[in-house]
Amino acid sequence: MRATHEPTTPQRPSAVHRDPADLAPSADRSWANDFVLEQRLLGVPGTQIGDALVTIESHLVDSGESALEAFGDARAYAAELAESSSAVDDAITPRTVVASVLGVIGMLTTVYAFGPWLAGEPATITVGLVVSGALLLAVLALFLANADAVLRMIVERVWLTAVAVVLVTGATVVALLLLTGVLVQVPGAVLLAAGATLLVLDAVLNWLDHGQGDTVLAPGESAPVRAAGRVLSTLTVPAFTLLMLGLAWLVHSLA
């Protein structure tokens, strides 16, 4: 018989658990991981996930049952609890949207302008370049508008995700190769500076937008301050851009 989710006496562990499943060590690890994943996909805040895991652990210790016997399928039970959840986590803020758009445009602009700048030539903006950029921004907008659904597809339908990636990549390449009409030519240094400026803005917004994160916490715990995570979030796009610029410079040097 399925147990119900009842409040428990708040516990105060001395350290933050790195793996959320550690809050319910009596549960089968795969069951606990499925439960946490489903709750995450349903937007349940980390504090409520932690409270549920502690309650599950308390019941399993008292009853001696397995998690499957006591609560049934992990994902079904997670969905059942999510329906009664009073709060839904919304990690995508307007600042996140703006930072993501600026980061994508800045990265594409900087990488595209780098070659002409090295060669001392103007950067040619073609129809294909604009179309491919618009396509990538549309994919980004789709993800930001339906983040939970997209993440669920990535987790549960790997092959469908792979097909989608191939189709988007193919459409981008086709647009670049076939739509070669020239719209405008811009000095390489000017376009490179514009792209770098957008990357700086992206980094600043990501730094401001990154708080403590929605950590899964047991009752009584407080979220840790993770400076490394904030730096990683801030520098991911600029660092990836620098990596591509390094490869472009190497190819240019060898040529």
Structural domain boundaries in the chain = 20-83, 94-213+220-254
H/E element, 101? helix 94-119
Give me the percent of the chain exceeding a pLDDT of 70: 79
Q: Is the pLDDT of residue 22 over 50?
A: yes
CB neighbours of residue 74 within 10 Å: 23
148 vs 118, residue with greater confidence = 118
pLDDT for the residue numbered 192: 92
Q: Is the pLDDT of residue 17 over 70?
A: no
Q: Is the pLDDT of residue 205 over 70?
A: yes
Q: Is the pLDDT of residue 18 over 70?
A: no
pLDDT for the residue numbered 152: 76
Q: How confident is the model at residue 104 (pLDDT cuts 50, 70, 90)?
A: confident
Q: Using the Cα atoms of residue 203, residue 207, residue 208 and residue 214 in order, give the sign of their dihedral.
A: positive
The mean per-residue pLDDT over the stretch 167-187 comes to 89
Structure token digits, residue 86: 């009073």
pLDDT for the residue numbered 46: 76
Q: Is the pLDDT of residue 16 over 70?
A: no
Structure token digits, residue 205: 């917004």
Q: How confident is the model at residue 236 (pLDDT cuts 50, 70, 90)?
A: confident
Distance CA 96, CA 233 (A): 11
Distance CA 114, CA 132 (A): 18
The mean per-residue pLDDT over the stretch 152-161 comes to 79
Q: At what angle do helices 46-63 and 29-41 cross, to 10 degrees?
A: 150
Question: φ, ψ for residue 181 (rounded to 5)?
Answer: -60, 135
Distance CA 43, CA 157 (A): 19
- CA angle (231 as vertex; 228, 232 as ends), nearest 5: 85
What are the Cα distances from residue 8, in Å, to 23, 50, 100, 231?
A: 14, 12, 40, 36
Distance CA 67, CA 35 (A): 10
CB neighbours of residue 220 within 10 Å: 12
Which amino acid is it at 237? Answer: V
Distance CA 29, CA 82 (A): 20
pLDDT for the residue numbered 7: 44
Phi-psi region of 15 (alpha: psi -120 to 50; beta: other; left: phi over 0): beta
pLDDT for the residue numbered 21: 77
pLDDT for the residue numbered 138: 87
Whose tokens are 């030519």? That residue is: 185
Q: Check if the beta carbon of residue 178 is closer than 8 Å to that of residue 202.
A: no
Half-sphere exposure of 242 (CA within 13 A, CB side): 7
The mean per-residue pLDDT over the stretch 33-52 comes to 83
Return mean pLDDT, the chain.
Answer: 79
